[in-house]
Amino acid sequence: MTVRKEKAERLADEELMPLIGEKDPEAFEVFYDRHGGVAYSLAYRIVGEKAAAEDVTQEAFISIWKSGARFDRARGSVRSWTLSIVRNRAIDALRSRAGKAPKLTFDDDAVLEQRPSEQLTDDEAMRRETATEIRGALGELPGEQSKVIELAYFGGFSQSEISRMLGVPLGTVKGRMRLGLEKIRGELAEGLA
Amino acid sequence: MTETNHERWSEDVAAYLLGALEPAETAELERHAEGCEHCQAEIRWMTPAVNAVPESVTQLEPPRELRERVMAEVRFDAEPENVFADEPTAAGLLDRAYGWLRDLGSGPMGLRPVVGFAAAILVVAAVAGFAIGGGIGSDSGKTSTVVSGEPPTGEAPGVTAKVVSSDSGGTLHLANVKQIPDSRVLEAWVQRDGEVEPVEALFVPDRKGQASTEIPDMDGVEVVMVTTEPKGGSKSPTSSPLVTIAIPQ
């Protein structure tokens, strides 16, 4: 038996997951509507093609539908769990396409698919505001720091591979990653203050 | 733990959170962090920064068709007759197929008394099928075998299947198949020498619920199964069989 969608819409992500574990499609629909956009955007950012991004997003969400009951709230938020699944699947897709290098820039504006935005919920509006701030924080990082973060997170490269690719010592890569994340963390802390 | 030890691992926390450690390094760091409060605290503090990275990508509007495909698959899977206990592995399917064959081969008259009605129908149909097949074979000059199947208990009710084999290949015919979402296809699998392998061609039911596909090589095939799979097919079955057909050797 499923809950009504209106009821599901009032539930927090963490409250939706047990319902998804019980195979409630209306709960899942609310979950998709909340996170499908950022998931698709992340998949596109990593694989760089619309069709591949759709495949990755679909596979990730179906995997979540089948394993929703396995979400462990002790390990983070539903959103970060979801995005880590999308990221892993996208990196797998990227690696399986031999000879194609990942995109290495934050400039996605040129490929934006502009469609009228739907009514935004307060939460979504806040997330977008935060995302804008984070984009700003990332954009303000020194190029060498943002590059190693991009190569690792969006390209799926290990720190050793990045060291070889950039021709810099491994210790330098580690330091740049650390400094970059610390700056982002600092921006987040300031934003919350 | 010494401070030097901690510093050696602490340097890798950022790479760890960004997924940039090799698997062996990841395992080592996780082992160390279990007993290191400093590393645990660093991981906790830095995690929000990593979680923020995917939020930074430019937001695109996903295609409406993507939502429709995802929800069609979800609704299909949510229907009681399509809910599967778990994603079965190829090995699981194999066990199931073997178990089913074992049921047919034991007990009085080669049938265990507890074997379900569906299996009994299958055996009867299989025997009849051989006779029919022999007749067809005689007429056509080819060796043809017809085996009809009903799904085992708990699987999609009403689906019937038959395999018509000819020379080394065969044709699988299904009837009474429910309509499936656009995002899914039917995929046939054969079990040969204990290994489950996909049949290349994917297929979908027509409006009357009938579907068929060619099985190019029937040599040594012990069981034929059909599952629904995401468009494009799968390398191994990801749902329970709609129908399972034992091929008499």
Q: Which of B53, B67, B70 sits opposite A62 (nearest CB)?
A: B70
pLDDT band at B3 (very low <50, low <70, confident <90, very high): very low
Q: What is the model's pLDDT at position A116? A: 30
B134 versus B42: the higher-pLDDT residue is B42
B12 chain-A contacts, CB cut-off 8 A: 159, 174
The total number of structural domains that make up chain B: 2
Q: Which of A37, A157, A184 sits opposite B59 (nearest CB)?
A: A37
Residues B42, B163, single domain; the answer is: no
Residues B107, B189, single domain; the answer is: yes
Span A120-193 CATH architecture: Orthogonal Bundle (1.10)
Cβ within 8 Å of B, A 155-184: 156-160, 162, 171, 173-175, 177-178, 180-182, 184
pLDDT band at B166 (very low <50, low <70, confident <90, very high): confident
What does the pLDDT look like over B138-150, one tens digit per residue? 333 333 344 445 4
Q: pTM, whole model, 2 decimals? A: 0.59
Cβ within 8 Å of B, A 131-160: 131, 134-135, 137-138, 149, 152-153, 156-160
Check pLDDT > 60 for residue A123: no
What does the pLDDT look like over A22-48, one tens digit per residue? 889 999 999 999 999 999 999 999 999
Residue B109 lies in a domain: yes
Q: What is the model's pLDDT at position B168? A: 74
Per-residue pLDDT averaged across A114-135, rounded? 50
Residues B156, B42, single domain; the answer is: no
Q: What is the model's pLDDT at position B124? A: 30
Cβ within 8 Å of B, A 3-22: none
Residues B7, B113, single domain; the answer is: no
Residues B133, B211, single domain; the answer is: yes
Residue of B nearest to A187 (CA): B49
Residue B205 lies in a domain: yes
Residues B103, B205, single domain; the answer is: yes
What does the pLDDT look like over B40-81, one tens digit per residue? 999 999 999 999 899 889 889 999 999 999 999 898 888 765
Residues B211, B124, single domain; the answer is: yes
Q: Which of A24, A156, A185 sits opposite B46 (nearest CB)?
A: A185
pLDDT band at A110 (very low <50, low <70, confident <90, very high): very low
* Whether domain A1-99 has CATH 1.10.1740.10: yes
How many Å lie between the alpha carbon of B43 and the closest alpha carbon of chain A?
11
Residue of A nearest to B82 (CA): A23
Q: Mean pLDDT for chain A?
A: 80
Residues B236, B115, single domain; the answer is: yes
Residue B70 lies in a domain: no
Residues B51, B93, single domain; the answer is: no
Q: What is the model's pLDDT at position A130? A: 62
Give me the CATH number covering residue B19. Answer: 1.10.10
Residue B44 lies in a domain: yes
A29 chain-B contacts, CB cut-off 8 A: 71, 74
Residues B109, B214, single domain; the answer is: yes
pLDDT band at B83 (very low <50, low <70, confident <90, very high): very low
The boundaries of the domain holding residue B169 are 88-246
DSSP secondary structure of B125-175: HHHHHHHHHHHHHHHHTS-EEEEEE-PPTTS-TT-EEEEEEETTEEEEEEE
CA distance A80 to A47: 19
Q: What is the model's pLDDT at position A64? A: 92
A158 chain-B contacts, CB cut-off 8 A: 15, 20-22
Residue B63 lies in a domain: no
Residues B44, B93, single domain; the answer is: no
Q: What is the model's pLDDT at position B106? A: 35
Residues B111, B45, single domain; the answer is: no
How far is the CA of A84 from the CAs of A89, A161, B18, B66, in angstroms? 9, 21, 10, 20
Q: What is the model's pLDDT at position A72? A: 77
Count of CB pairs separated by less than 8 Å, A with B: 169
Helical residues (DSSP H) of A48-77, grouped into ranges: 50-67
Domain boundaries, chain A: 1-99, 120-193
Residue B82 lies in a domain: no
CA distance A64 to A48: 23
